[in-house]
Structure formats: C-alpha cells, structure tokens
Structure 1
C-alpha cells in the first residue's frame, strides 16, 4: 500500500496452489500519484513569515495549544487508546501477581526482567493519566479483564501481541486527529509503547525489530482485538462507537512460544514463516456478543462473501485469494502468505507481528486512507506471527 513498494497492486492471477510460479506474488507498480501543486525542489516558494521559519506548517503562529479533543472523532479515538492503556497496566501487573519467581526464572527471566515489567506498568499509569486529562471527567475508568495465558511464556507472548495492536491502533488514527496538540501528547506515549513491544519480543527470544516500518491499523480493527479481553467496566464508562468485526482465527499460526531461544537482546532469526506458506483460517459469523458487560455485538458491513486474505504489514496492504472454503466445515478457508519486498529485497514486506483479515474486495489503499478497508472486512483482524 506504499508508493514505490513492490507488492502493492491487486493480486495476480497465479493459482495459489500451483506448483509453478511463486504463490501470492503481486505484480509491481502503483496507481498514479495525485497531482501535488507544491514544487518539491527544496527552494522556498513563499516569503518566510519569521526569520529562519519557512512558510507553512500547522499551529505555528503562536496560538496557545489546546490539549483536548476537538471533535467526536478525537474523543472516541483517544478514549479507545485510554482503554488500551488501562488493560496494559492491568496486564503487566497481573503477570507479576499470577506467576512466581520460580515460574519467571524457568522462562529465563530474572529479577531485573521482572522489575522492567513492573516499570512498564508504572509507565501505563502515566499514559492513562495523560489521556484521562485530555478527555476530561467522562474518560473511561479501569475495568476488569480476562486473559488467554496460563504460563509465563504465554503471558509474554500475549504482551508482545497486545502492545503491537495498541501501538499500531494509534498509528492508524493519530494523523487524522483534529487536535494536533493532543496528537503530540499521544505520540509521546505511543513511542514508549513501541519500546515495550520490542522488549517483550526480546523476552520471548524473537528478533526485536524485523521490519523497516511499523504498521498502522484502524480503530475498529484495534477495538475488535481488544474488546474480547475486557470483561466488566464501570457503568459510567462511555460506549465506544467503533465496529466489532467477527472473530478470525489463524489455526496454524507460527508460534513464538515454541522457540528454543531464551530471552536475549537479539537472536539471529528474523522470521518464523515464509512466502507461499499455506495458512488456514476459521472465522465466526456476525452477531456474537463481545466486549465489556456483553454490551457489543460483532457485525460486518461487507456486501459480499470473503474472497481475499488482506495482509497488513509495514507500509503495505497485500491480498491473496481465498480457496478451499468449507474444507472442514462452514467458516473455514485457506490462503497463502504472499511474497514481496518493500523498497529492497533486503526487506520482506511481511515480517514481525502483523495483521490479517478476510475481505470481500482487494481494495487499493495506502497508510493514510487505510480506514477504507473497514467496510470490506468480513472477519478479523487476527494477529499473524510472521516473525
């Protein structure tokens, strides 16, 4: 989905099960760029409004910044981010409460590592306080949560996945906020969360940063991933307007918890999967109860059945056709992991902790208009552990 990147055009006609050719390869090339009247020459085109200050920019005229939501979009987006900060605070503390020193040490994590998790929880106190102050008295309060882990390794794996969608969820909307002042404050917190995600990857023995660019997703995709883990919330917590898509399961997801590697700054293993790998999915029908207090219902606004797997990683959205629908009953389907590189053959497009959804159309999108995919999602996203 990035200009200049291979793997950004609609899917090829190559049969994904064919023994010839490369499964999932996308032809290179992008739609033409829209017209830009600004001359990108590096020379000034307007007088400087002040010495050493080029013309342009936003909120550069000395007007005092307003660190508050300025629209419904702002408020609902930042409140979603606040719900994410609250669960991260509880999650990090819950892992330290639930598992013993012996449990952590058996997973290769010592007292210093446990203190780092404790410190990350303290960071979340600051993040939640910041966003609550921006939103005011009606900001979401902390809730009661439910988690899918029973071991330290599963706890660490869930942490690195949850911080991935928390980080990516903010990247997807931050540049669309009306309040640029609030966006700058939010950016200060999400850059810390990016470091947390890398730490949890290192605790898990994964390569800490196997991509050149971090991916952004939509608010509804982030809320779909977050909401099943929120069990109860205070009655006064505001209802979030974002969509809950039907749940998507990757039934043969590469499993980072099965690695033989222990916690370390890095290991020379940069991927867990490969282009052409057959991936199997199971997805739920819409209409399922989800979210806190059972107050949300999953739904889809797609107008047709699922036809493509939509892989979102780095700056690209890439599609591969679905096949073998119903091979083990209704709601199951297969696709292959696509091939492709971003700017260089040194950088596989799909790597790290990425997102996959099932869609009814292979819509061309770029990072700044990625929310257009929401109306085409049949199920998902799910996290795919490509590396």
Structure 2
C-alpha cells in the first residue's frame, strides 16, 4: 500500500547524499535557538495531535476499531512523552520559545489516527536527523539525539505492533532538510500566534504522486522527482506528467526539483513537496543493498 501527503490529507477532503552541499551551506547560518524553536514547533504539533485524538476517542472507540486495551494506553504514554519534549525545549528557550499553533488533523477514527501517527513519527525522526549536523552545542545535540531515538521507537511500535506493518524501511533512516519538513508540518497548521518568532523556513507548494499511474501534480515536464530514502537521493525525469520510480520498501520522501544532478538537490531548486510514499513489505522480504554517492 502506498500513501502520499495528499492521500493523508484526503482523509479530510503528502543516487546522492540527501544533505546536499546547498542544504549544508544554508543550514550553517541557522543558530541553535532557531533549531530548538524548529524542534519545538514540531513537538507542539505532535503534542496537540495525540492529546486531541485521545480526547476524541475513548477506550470504547479503540475497542470498536479492533484494538486491544494496551494500544490506547501506549498512545497515552506517547502523548506524555510529547508533552515532556515540549516542556524541555520550551524551558531551554525561555521567553523566545514559540507557542502552540492551531491544527487540523485528518483522522476520523482510531485506525486513521494510528495510520497518521506512524507518518508523523517518521517525519519527526527525519527532522531531528536532518537537523543534527547543524546543532553547534554538544549538550543540545545530545538532547536532540535522545528525543530522536524515542521518536524512532514510537514510529516502530506504531507501525509494527499497532498497524501490523514493518517497523523500519531499511538499514538507514532518512535525514530531511528544514524546509522539506516544515512543508510537511505546514499541511496540518491552520494558524499561529502573531507573537511567535518567525522561523527562517518556507513551505513549498504541494506535490502529489499517484503510485498506480506515476502521475504527478505540482510539477511539470522538464523537472525531476527527487526520491529520498536512507542516506541517498536519486532524481527521475517527469515526462508527460508522469514519472517512473523504482519500487521502494517502507517510507520514502519525494520532492520536485529543477535539478537533474542528485547531489545538488536542495532548497534553491526544489519546486514542490514533499510527498510521502509508503510501500509496505512482507516480513520475509530482504532489504535492498544501499548505494551511496559521496
């Protein structure tokens, strides 16, 4: 089964090295306070996501959806984790900490909530991993690493124990840059306090990809789809409004770019995205051997 960012939103109605030279040069100008507020923005979103769902769906609703009692109880623990992450980051930032925004999440029942939980946790892992190289203070880096590994445990548990899918995509998680993650998060944000410090990130236009037909919207012929998975990114040409992508295992990210050279894909040439593609695989499947282009 494959999902994209647009597929998730429809519940209501998203080879070279990923950290490209362009992204690295841009990230160097971002200080630790900005990165902590970026992380806090994501943690506020996750905190609201879990609190809202647990308020909306009681134990009986989870039982009616076919979940045993421990599923909701574990989600309650994850909710507490996210609240703790918010408190820790806000405490470190003090008066400059961003406040929660207002959100709209496209879940309609416990099952769609659990499906979206796995996606958000995966984005969280990619966000912390992508930001790690830009954190200057070693103490902050350790804290971010501790949150990252916890988010990864959340994602693996939700994907495997709850949704009965794979708990990982391959031998390496996927680091994703600031603007790509910010674009994914922005899809769920309806407004933010005017007093919040403006983050130096932008949301790219929406990108959709139909895995059945290869059709893309939000990009055009002559441009490319960049496929991010693990420590690699590869580009594929868009022709006739479609793109031919290899079959991936687990979760991968797509952006549309004007750059053919995968090692140069970055914020300056990304034109839309991300779309998130999930291809669940059987337990007996072997992960393909990774390839790297440094």
TM-score band, normalised by the shorter chain? 0.7 to 0.9
- Does residue 322 in structure 1 map to residue 238 in structure 2? yes
Task: Tell me the CA shift for residue 312 of structure 1.
Answer: 0.2
The superposition leaves residues 302-343 of structure 1 with CA deviations (integer Å, 9 ceiling, x where unpaired) of: xx9752111000111011111112xxxxxxxx112226xxxx
Task: Tell me the CA shift for residue 72 of structure 1.
Answer: 4.2
Q: 1:143 to 1:315 in 2, by over 3 A?
A: same
Query: In the alignment, is the contact (CA less than 8 A) between 2:16 and 2:232 conserved in 1?
Result: no
Q: Which runs of 5+ in 1 are unaligned?
A: 1-7, 11-69, 253-276, 285-303, 326-333, 340-349
Q: Which runs of 5+ in 2 are unaligned?
A: 1-14, 18-27, 281-294
**3-state SS in 1 of match to 2:37:** helix
Question: Which residue does 1:34 correspond to in 2?
Answer: none
Task: Tell me the CA shift for residue 119 of structure 1.
Answer: 0.5
Counterparts of 1:151 and 1:315, CA distance in 2: 34
Question: Which residue does 2:129 correspond to in 1?
Answer: 171
Question: Which residue does 1:196 correspond to in 2?
Answer: 154
Task: Tell me the CA shift for residue 212 of structure 1.
Answer: 0.7
Superposition RMSD in Å? 2.3
Count of matched residue positions in the alignment of Structure 1 and Structure 2: 255
Counterparts of 1:100 and 1:133, CA distance in 2: 31
Question: Which residue does 1:310 correspond to in 2?
Answer: 226
Counterparts of 1:352 and 1:75, CA distance in 2: 33
Task: Tell me the CA shift for residue 103 of structure 1.
Answer: 2.9
- Say which of 230, 240, 246 aligns to 1:338: 246
Query: In the alignment, is the contact (CA less than 8 A) between 2:125 and 2:151 conserved in 1?
Result: yes
Question: Which residue does 2:253 correspond to in 1?
Answer: 355
Question: Which residue does 1:44 correspond to in 2?
Answer: none
Q: TM-score, normalised by structure 1?
A: 0.62
Structure with greater proportional helix content: 2
Structure of higher RCO (CA pairs closer than 8 Å, 6+ residues apart): 2
The superposition leaves residues 24-66 of structure 1 with CA deviations (integer Å, 9 ceiling, x where unpaired) of: xxxxxxxxxxxxxxxxxxxxxxxxxxxxxxxxxxxxxxxxxxx
The superposition leaves residues 264-318 of structure 1 with CA deviations (integer Å, 9 ceiling, x where unpaired) of: xxxxxxxxxxxxx74222228xxxxxxxxxxxxxxxxxxx975211100011101
Task: Tell me the CA shift for residue 383 of structure 1.
Answer: 0.7
The superposition leaves residues 343-370 of structure 1 with CA deviations (integer Å, 9 ceiling, x where unpaired) of: xxxxxxx3212101111112333xxxx8
Counterparts of 1:97 and 1:190, CA distance in 2: 26
- Does residue 227 in structure 1 map to residue 143 in structure 2? no
Query: In the alignment, is the contact (CA less than 8 A) between 1:309 and 1:359 conserved in 2?
Result: yes
Extract structure 1 runs of 4+ deviating beyond 4 A. none
Question: Which residue does 1:102 correspond to in 2?
Answer: 60
Query: In the alignment, is the contact (CA less than 8 A) between 2:221 and 2:239 conserved in 1?
Result: no
Query: In the alignment, is the contact (CA less than 8 A) between 1:320 and 1:338 conserved in 2?
Result: no
The superposition leaves residues 58-100 of structure 1 with CA deviations (integer Å, 9 ceiling, x where unpaired) of: xxxxxxxxxxxx9743222221111111111111121112224
